[in-house]
A and B are shown apart, each in its own frame.
Chain A
Amino acid sequence: MILRLLKNGIDRKSWIFLSVLFAVTFGVSILNLAPTPGSTLHLSSFVVTVLGKYLTYALLALSVDLVWGYCGVLSLGHAAFFTLGGYAMGMHLMREIGPRGVYGHPILPDFMVFLNWQELPWFWLGFDMFWFAALMVILVPGVLAFVFGWFAFRSRVTGVYLSIITQALTFALMLAFFRNDMGFGGNNGLTDFKDILGFNLQSDGTRVGLLIASAVALAIGFLIARAVVTSKFGKVLIAIRDAESRTRFLGYRAENYKLLVWTLSASMAGVAGALYVPQVGIINPSEFSPANSIEVVIYVALGGRGTLVGAALGGVLVNFAKTIFTGAFPEYWLFFLGGLFVVSTLFMPKGIIGVWGHIANKWRADRARNASSTLQANTLKKGD
């Protein structure tokens, strides 16, 4: 499978994507670390962290594109998997604070001391170990998605109904996590993180490390997604997307295909969330809010559904616009976002990547025509 991926999976678009991704990542990293602060070349740590955050959103968008773009499962609840991955990482970061909390309790996080809890709930056990937390980042969203998908796909819930129940899923999780007695910090969530794997989260070096980790995660996620969609499995996914009952009559169990890609996608979203949390420094239940999941769908639609590269690009671009807009005219951001969605659905059904492909094709056709007309002109001259 790896060999096949190297042979067919990485096309020119993929190479461009990966090169740009790493060029920007390393460029920003070097410009942040090498020049002395204050020099004109120096990039602030804000840029590093914000870019890292964009890349985690890009990975989230990629995971949505995998299920929506290639299998036609429109998830309006992917922020749930993202946030669960984020909580798993947040729990590890909380445990790593140790006795340095405000209340100085050796084991219990501050909020538990505040709530007068005497001992750590069972589901916080093990999160003091990084490897365990990392495993949970993948497993918790994956298992939830598997169970959810098992029931939903087996009962052949599709289309709008599926979208609605994914939305209900994330909403239910939000309400649950808002409760203090759930044991996840309630309303305030988890914050005041100190360090990760022993590195201080406030230091530039760690921030650059997290940015590079996000870029690597995005690249790996992209390669896995490419391997999946260029395999025969991927062809079956597209067949299910376009004509599910036909695919069943061919003898493929559509529900198993959906379940596998859905679970994979959820785990990918979980990894994105886990990288997001140390960079923004907080995770709270509002990340579950249904609007977040809908926003991710906009990233994918704007960038180009079913293209992977487009989804990642959409994730970065929309969030870049968000950073600019919410700074300059915060009250208009949502209008702008809504406008973007309407414009992209009406005028760019294949998103930015589609428009780009269109222009590139036209340019190539023009060039071919010019070449052939010059050739014709030349032959004519010879004829004279």
Chain B
Amino acid sequence: MTSVELLVLLGLALLIAGTLAPVVRGALATAIALQAVSIALLGVGGALVLFGAPAFGAAFRSSLDPGLGIDGLTGFFLATLAIVAAPAAIYARGYLAGVARSRALIALGGLFQIALVGVVMARDPSSFLACWELMTLVPAAAILVRHSDAAVRHAVFVYLAVTHLGGVGVWICVLALAHYGAVGDPAALAAQGAGIQALVVVAAIVGFGTKAGLMPLHSWLPRAHPVAPSHVSALMSGVMIKMALYGLIRVLFEWAGPAPLWAGLVVLGLGLLSALGGVLYALVQHDLKRLLAFHSIENVGIVALGLGASILFASEGDETWAAIAFAAALLHVLNHAVFKALLFLAAGTFERALGSLELDRIGGLLRRMPWTGGAFLVGSMAIAGVPPLNGFASEWLTLQALIHVALGPSLGLGLAGALATAGLAATAALAMFCFAKVVGLVLLGAPRRAEAEAAVEAPPSMRSAPVFLAGCCVVLGAVPGLLVPSLMQLSPHPQSLAAEPGLAIPGTGSLPSPWLLLGLIALSGLLWRLRGARRAAPVPVWACGQQIEPSLNWSSAGFTKPLRLVLEAVLRPRREIEAVRERGQLQSIRYRGDIPHLFDTLLYGPVQRGALAGALVARRLQSGSVRAYAGYLLALLLGLLVAVRIGAIG
């Protein structure tokens, strides 16, 4: 047994121990430590396999005997899981201190990690589907253990309903693959012809796409993520939705591969819709956690853009760029996991201090919580995609892949690539708009309510996790080139690239990220020295010589108003102004404005109404009378007899 295998086995054993430990009263700290250490061990093991240690464990098989194993792709997702889950576990230590039912929450946290590990390590259909369902159900349980008022119960219901309806796609896809003996064997599916392959591909896109939160199948995501406890929402947003991308990659790139051209275009189109739609709706949210949830949709869309581009390159025979686009998608998976987990954890800290996360009523937290606030600032810059942080590195690589689709020889793909490129550029600009707003409303300016004024820094365990993740954002932004060559090896068309800190990709002007970081720090420092010697005169902010009224503070809606006016045709905002008059005199004016989520009103609403109407019709069959049921049985029997007689069955 090699040392890597030993490491992984030890990790698994400790993880199970850490999940069971909270049953013992008073062992909570031990349980959390066990969970953090075990997931870190698994992550190290995964990273070692990713960077070249031999794959081990069972091979993929279509039979139902359970088996676990690790290869490069599993290793990458294990490492991604660990880099988020270990800090989240440490964060939970402070976050759950003194919270009711913390033992249950810690045990569920461990179970959630087991499910996530199981999904990526499963090597047979039965354990994959079991872990998959567990991964869906455990966060629902964690949400309900924490809160159980009517609104939260409804959110959980929508989450379970939508993911299970969409999850049918996963079952169809995996069971069809198992039926044809194609799990881990692309030749077996190819032998079944294009029809079966199309069925598997469509089922995979619908099933995994729902769980990943791809628009228009995303409806559950902005409901479920905000109500979960923060250390769970960090894992949900950072890792759980990535597990769906893991499944999609396994099916589209390995088992049903090479995926047809149309699948590439569908994935690219869904990615573009999710990226633009996600960020647009994020921009008009007024609650921090809901806003972050919409950004998860956006980032899954960016990953899908990379995957779609990779399929298009592969179908055109450009294996180098197919591998680069694939690596871009995976790099963004990791980067998004890091900065989104950071933002959710920091949001949890803010929520703890303030009570609620209404954006217009926070303000000034950078001064009061320098560690958490500073980490939140770094995470915001990373998700906004500004250099030299990690979000820019993976968005740069994805953008380059899309540009090279646009440069390609065929007209149709060229246009698709150009549209996707322009869409991604607009997405990046919108994300920056959104996080300029978030940073401004949450961290900067004067505090906007008493709780924000009185906020103090969180305890060390809650503060260290975001700071660690902020460090990861900087490091991953500085040296993406050490990771990308290994990721390119995971592509179905492995290509080699020299490992160096920056990204020197042929056909681009290269992204020498370490030099960007150093140059920026050195030049800013130099200019600070040049500028800094003078004393600054304290002055009030200029407001035309008037007193600054708190009620005149800029709001989230005010800041985004120009964009809302420009995009009125797309967003369709609703506003109502009601003037209350008494004896001809104006008493007061009531104003209400909101932006309806068009997917809910135009797509899910009619579907829901149709389903309810259908259920009403179906209810008439359930009369409760024994004679009616006997009649149904008779009708069924007769129907079957007729079917056998005419040879339809049997």
Answer whether A and B are interacting partners.
no
- Residue positions of B touching A, CB distance < 8 A: none
- Residue positions of A touching B, CB distance < 8 A: none
